[in-house]
Structure 1
Amino acid sequence: MKKIILSISLVFCVFSTRAQTAQDRPNILWIVSEDNIPMIGAYGDQFATTPNLDAFAKESILYKNSFSTAPVCAPSRNTLITGMYPPSLGTEHMRSVYPVPSYVKFFPRYLREAGYYTTNNSKKDYNTTDQLDAWDESSDKATYKNRKDGQPFFAVFNLMTTHESSLFEPLPKLKHDPEKVTLPPYHPNTPEMKHDWAQYYDKIETMDGQFGKLLNELKEAGLAENTIVFYYGDNGGVLARSKRFMYESGLHVPLIIHLPKKYEKLASVGPGTKTDRLVTFLDFAPTILSLVGIKIPDYMQGEAFLGTQQKAEHPYAYGFRGRMDERIDLSRAVRDKKFRYIRNYLPHKIYGQYLEYLWRAPSVKSWEDEYKAGRLNAVQSKFWQEKPAEELFDIEADPHNIKNLAADPKYAKDLARLRKANEDWLLKTEDVGFIPEAILSDIAATTPLRDYAKSGKYNFKHILETADWASSRKPAYTNDLIKRLSDPDPTVRYWAATGLIVLKAKTGKDALTKATNDSETAVRIAAAEALYYIGEKALSIKILTEALTVKNVPARVQALNALSNIGPDAAPALENSKILIKETPGMFDYDSRAAKDFVTRFGKK
């Protein structure tokens, strides 16, 4: 009988301990704003009207060096929800839904399994197959208020007010005076540009009010002293050359975190602190698990910066750019506390590639019109020109990233250091973003790309070397690239052909002509585009036109990108392009969007 009583007592103690532990765990509230750099008074922006965020920052930790991994929403949200770097998962391209391995869980699931009530209101956009079991609620009505009595919660509120779409319709009356806006040096002083900037400051002010309302609701519910609150932006933005681009304006995001007094020991700095610690979205998932006492899974690639499992600060913040909607590009970035390094692997593509969605903002067309009219200075014109292979910016001296120091001998050591940091990270994470999407999508149909990278079939070191040669703009690599057009690996052959596009190398004519019969569509398209630039126009356009009929959607997007670069000479492809246009294209119909642009610009008037 004594043994039974003892057993019952032990069970009661265990459950009491668990209940107490659960009750002591903090609630977590995430308030996320869309598409904004730190245009906030607390960050020093004197034109911003953000009284609620400014007051919040005085009682919280403000992170001066917080960065999204991608300068656009869906890939950056993939980082947040998985705790992994999207180029290592194959989830870097905008609104792709390639699967992740089964062991990669959306991190709120770990909280839910530990007894948390998890809610999302309401944007997901996670750039992979959804995992519905991560949330108790996910809708525009989702709220922590529906949890059981005493149940801890993790709640996300996404504030859409500052989203890029908020500029598509000019407002007739503004609170912020367009004539008092300070434009960045890369933007021209057009009426549309000033109006869009002022309108966006209005949207920031509205968002600040919404943020304040959510905080007041928390206080009125008596939960403020038990809730850790994160405020952050989901990527930079929002005017052209910010969102989608690899500069501070696209990757630097506000992050302010408040820990109530009972949880202050979970941070290494106190409230009211402005810290220069480097933080990226890779670190958010492990940090939340660290704050609530859940073991961080080994597969996560970030490091906790708060809680019981926090790690030492990492020296670099990494960023990436892949396909943005209907336009193909590939860049990687490394940021320390002083410099931003950017490696452009498709430098022949101009920065300002036409994107139907981006062009809906009046300011963008006004900028393009000024360029076509020849009224821009060198800094403002750069957006409409091809890219260098490497860019290096001193953030302290050049916060707008307009003076490229990559060719300056005084910065040679920093350039070499950051170049190596980039290469080391690419190899460590087994970046599958270097596989052209036409090939990558076929692999993903049967195998998660992370699994493929670890299967022994992905010779990334060889691929990266070829991509480095291809993008270097150095004619010395021409013969090496021609030889690699015969490599057994189609991704290597793709990069070899791409390098010959960049170099416009006439000596590659025979090898490129042979490559137009390659077994991989991505290689045929790249070879055909290269042939156009060395004078073999008829064969080039024939191959590209035929590529519009293949079943592989990313291949059609690749061909349409090439045809748009060629311009009016590509008129023979118009009929095949028209077939691809859908009256109401869906979210993933990027071939339709690219085809519509091609036909609109180069079809007969």
Structure 2
Amino acid sequence: MKNPIIVLGLCLIFSCNSRQEELPPPNILWLTSEDNSPFLGCYGDDFATTPHLDSLAAEGFLYTHAYANVPVCAPARNTILTGVYANSGGHQHMRSYYDKAAMIQPYPRMLREAGYYCTNNSKEDYNINPDQNQDFWDESSNKAHYKNRPEGKPFFAVFNTTISHESSIHQSIPSGQLRHRPEDVTLPPYHPDTPEMRHDWAQYYDKVEDMDQRIGELLRELEESGEAENTIVFYYGDHGGVLARSKRYVYESGTRVPFIVSIPEKYRHLYPAEQPGSEVSRLISFVDLVPTVLSIIGSEIPDYLQGNAFLGEQKTEDPEYAFMFRGRMDERYDMSRSARDSKYRYIRNYMPYRVYGQFLEYLWRAPSIQSWEAAYKAGECNDVQSRFWNTKPAEELYDTQNDPWEVNNLAYDPRYEEVLQRMRTATKDWMLEIKDSGFIPEAELIDRTAGTTTYEYMRQSELDLNELVDGANLASNPRKGDLPFLTAMLEHEESAIRYWGATGLLMLGGEAAEAVEELKNVLADPSSNVKVVAAEAMYRLGHEEEGLQALYEVLQSSNSFARTHALNAIDSIEDDEEATHQAVLDMIGMVGEFNRSHYDLRAAKGLLTKWDIDPADHGYDMNW
């Protein structure tokens, strides 16, 4: 005789499966905001005024460990669009317009093939060649709306609000008009207590409140459409922000995002926890969004996707890590990689010889960072507040549970050696697995990928990525005993290895004096990136004229990112000679197009400002 309990259980399972099969495909609505960390009441922020998102979280599921894979918008959006880490596809630099590999399909195309009507309102900014932006969406404009879909079609709709974007603090609102009072702001320990800092924080909380109001309007619109019971709603910020040391930096403040999913009762089989209103601690990041959406709608997940589905029938086991990265930010080069587990954050800095707070024209529009820089120069910052203006350690490790602002670096504490080794290994394994293209300098990569894409080049060339990563790891944290290895790297046939060899010698400073002749030889290297780093190393070793002449030569390169690299070096060495002024002015004249979309011109303008030179006096209109 059959066990009646087993029979009943099977009946319930088949009944449940039958109902799932009868359900219509869900609509999916993405509501996104810009540049905001989880400054929401539902995330425990008592200073925030976010009633609509708090209500959405109470009715849905709040993810406590959600991350942008890169702390700036365009590469983050590229990762979302493709389901491939931007540094795997060659799109990690902010901003860039390189070709996307044809095999990598943008997710709206996959959803349209699955029968969805797809709309985007309205920001794109996908960090790819604009010619490849065509035909992703059924509609993409500030009028795009799911209401325009043909009858009977499910929709996938994105509404992006820019209210909380970084630009929202560039123009100060009078303090008397702010709803959040500057005197009530709790400052992070790394920010000095200046009036401008308090004001920008308070103004930003006002903008987050305004963003919440807009989200509320979009949610009401969904209710009024009659589609709320058929629609899964996602809300998330596109990366952290927005005051200095958040956006652009691979800390919690730059990468952790608010992330809420609301799932109607009829789709309760998709719930990530037992009941709505729950918190979900699973690590998720933007690379997971495409496989998750495909899993929700029951479509096959392509093998090339690099993330994990966190909802639906193809949901994976919880990952141990989320990974993050940064490359060039506008006119400034830097390179970091990061791993986050449930407790710790590991950061590997590959250009530790550059200060955290490199001047960025756009970032410096905020009064808060100007006041921070002034306070530092006046000697008014404590040790924690001063670090932003100094060079970096090669490695950083933070206990995010006990040190949420990440100011106590544990990487050099022997008690955390096991954690450090584990996360260091995980980060390297990830970089090799995704074929991280960031270890080849940008200008060099442009030359190598003419006629192909970076994604394809990294998979079809004979490049030994493991050797390259090992070389970069050595170069970014060298010791005097490494001098023979670094010098030998200068003679390698692979120019990217030579680049990292020169970087290691630059890092060694005076301890690299024995390698002056070898450095002098690579001042004529065919790779402009090798030449730039070797030139800076030579300058710092006392061979100023030879170093400067090599940098002047690169300023006349036809590759704008080689020129940008050279300008970064000139800025760092603080050279203020008339010949250097003229070399930069000559470069500006050679470029000819005076607009801020040229990052070499942005870097050049920053130098002229530092030297108190008005470009208009030389016939150049750079008043952007």
* TM-score bracket, shorter-length normalisation: over 0.9
Q: Equivalent of 2:609, from 595, 600, 605?
A: 600
1:454 aligns with 2:459: yes
Shift of 1:476: 2.0
The within-5 A match list for 1:143-292 is 143-172=145-174, 173-269=177-273, 270-292=275-297
Specify whether residues 412 and 327 from structure 1 end up closer, same or farther in structure 2 by C-alpha distance, changes over 3 A only.
same
1:384 aligns with 2:389: yes
Q: Which residue of 2 aligns with 1:37?
A: 37
Q: Distance in 2 between matches of 1:354 and 1:572?
A: 23
Runs of at least 5 residues in structure 2 that lack an aligned partner in the other structure? 1-19, 615-624
Q: Which moved more, 1:369-378 or 1:450-459?
A: 450-459
Post-superposition CA distance 1:283-328 (Å, at most 9, x none): 0011011111111111000010001211111100000010000000
Q: Distance in 1 between matches of 2:596 and 2:30?
A: 26
Corresponding residue SS for 2:609: helix
Post-superposition CA distance 1:349-389 (Å, at most 9, x none): 00000000000000010000000011100000000000000
Specify whether residues 604 and 138 from structure 1 end up closer, same or farther in structure 2 by C-alpha distance, changes over 3 A only.
closer
Q: Which residue of 2 aligns with 1:113?
A: 113
CA contact (8 A) 1:571 1:603 kept: no
Post-superposition CA distance 1:443-486 (Å, at most 9, x none): 23321111111113221111111111110142221211011100
Q: Distance in 2 between matches of 1:585 and 1:301?
A: 39
1:93 aligns with 2:87: no
CA contact (8 A) 1:541 1:572 kept: no
Give the aligned residue type for 1:577: V
Q: Distance in 1 between matches of 2:610 and 2:504?
A: 27
Q: Which residue of 2 aligns with 1:474?
A: 479
Runs of at least 5 residues in structure 1 that lack an aligned partner in the other structure? 1-19
Q: Distance in 2 between matches of 1:558 and 1:25?
A: 50
Give the aligned residue type for 1:590: Y
Q: Which residue of 2 aligns with 1:132?
A: 134
Equivalenced residues, count: 586
Post-superposition CA distance 1:84-116 (Å, at most 9, x none): 011111110011111121110111111111211
Q: Distance in 1 between matches of 2:613 and 2:57?
A: 56
Q: Which residue of 2 aligns with 1:10?
A: none
Q: Which residue of 2 aligns with 1:332?
A: 337
1:554 aligns with 2:552: no
Q: Distance in 1 between matches of 2:597 and 2:502?
A: 27
Q: Which residue of 2 aligns with 1:14?
A: none
Q: Equivalent of 1:314, from 306, 316, 319?
A: 319
Shift of 1:575: 1.9
CA contact (8 A) 2:596 2:602 kept: no
CA contact (8 A) 2:61 2:272 kept: no
Specify whether residues 585 and 333 from structure 1 end up closer, same or farther in structure 2 by C-alpha distance, changes over 3 A only.
farther
Corresponding residue SS for 2:551: helix
Post-superposition CA distance 1:229-277 (Å, at most 9, x none): 0000000000000000011000000000000001121133131110110
Q: Which residue of 2 aligns with 1:432?
A: 437
Q: Which residue of 2 aligns with 1:15?
A: none
CA contact (8 A) 1:68 1:281 kept: yes
CA contact (8 A) 1:567 1:602 kept: no
CA contact (8 A) 1:23 1:151 kept: no
Q: Which residue of 2 aligns with 1:8?
A: none
Q: Distance in 1 between matches of 2:376 and 2:67?
A: 31
Corresponding residue SS for 2:538: helix
Corresponding residue SS for 2:135: helix
Q: Distance in 2 between matches of 1:255 and 1:480?
A: 46
Shift of 1:585: 4.8
Q: Distance in 2 between matches of 1:579 and 1:258?
A: 57
The within-5 A match list for 1:518-537 is 518-537=525-544
Q: Distance in 2 between matches of 1:294 and 1:572?
A: 62
Post-superposition CA distance 1:33-83 (Å, at most 9, x none): 000000000000000000111111001010000000000000111110000
CA contact (8 A) 1:585 1:593 kept: no
Shift of 1:419: 0.5
Give the aligned residue type for 1:208: D
Give the aligned residue type for 2:418: K
Corresponding residue SS for 1:353: coil
Shift of 1:21: 7.5
Corresponding residue SS for 2:519: helix
CA contact (8 A) 1:574 1:603 kept: no
Corresponding residue SS for 2:364: helix
Post-superposition CA distance 1:202-224 (Å, at most 9, x none): 00000000000000000000000
Give the aligned residue type for 1:38: P
Q: Distance in 1 between matches of 2:464 and 2:162?
A: 41
Q: Distance in 2 between matches of 1:324 and 1:445?
A: 23
Q: Equivalent of 1:516, from 502, 517, 523?
A: 523
CA contact (8 A) 2:161 2:211 kept: yes
Shift of 1:578: 2.1
Specify whether residues 570 and 246 from structure 1 end up closer, same or farther in structure 2 by C-alpha distance, changes over 3 A only.
farther
Q: Which residue of 2 aligns with 1:7?
A: none
1:80 aligns with 2:85: no
1:403 aligns with 2:405: no
Give the aligned residue type for 2:335: L
Q: Which residue of 2 aligns with 1:590?
A: 599
Q: Distance in 2 between matches of 1:559 and 1:243?
A: 25
Give the aligned residue type for 2:114: A
Q: Distance in 2 between matches of 1:265 and 1:586?
A: 52
Shift of 1:571: 4.2
Specify whether residues 263 and 579 from structure 1 end up closer, same or farther in structure 2 by C-alpha distance, changes over 3 A only.
farther
Q: Which residue of 1 aligns with 2:15?
A: none
Q: Which moved more, 1:517-526 or 1:75-84?
A: 517-526
> How large is the Cα RMSD of the aligned pairs?
1.5
Q: Distance in 1 between matches of 2:185 and 2:577?
A: 42
Q: Which residue of 2 aligns with 1:544?
A: 551
Q: Distance in 2 between matches of 1:469 and 1:231?
A: 41
Shift of 1:603: 4.9
Shift of 1:574: 1.7
Specify whether residues 571 and 235 from structure 1 end up closer, same or farther in structure 2 by C-alpha distance, changes over 3 A only.
farther
Please give the TM-score of this superposition, normalised by the length of structure 1.
Answer: 0.95
Specify whether residues 525 and 138 from structure 1 end up closer, same or farther in structure 2 by C-alpha distance, changes over 3 A only.
same
Q: Distance in 2 between matches of 1:25 and 1:117?
A: 12
Corresponding residue SS for 1:161: coil
Specify whether residues 44 and 490 from structure 1 end up closer, same or farther in structure 2 by C-alpha distance, changes over 3 A only.
same
Please give the TM-score of this superposition, normalised by the length of structure 2.
Answer: 0.92
Corresponding residue SS for 2:98: coil
Shift of 1:133: 1.9
Specify whether residues 339 and 560 from structure 1 end up closer, same or farther in structure 2 by C-alpha distance, changes over 3 A only.
same
Percent of counterpart pairs with the same letter? 51
CA contact (8 A) 2:272 2:280 kept: no
Specify whether residues 586 and 367 from structure 1 end up closer, same or farther in structure 2 by C-alpha distance, changes over 3 A only.
same
Q: Which residue of 1 aligns with 2:363?
A: 358
CA contact (8 A) 1:568 1:602 kept: no
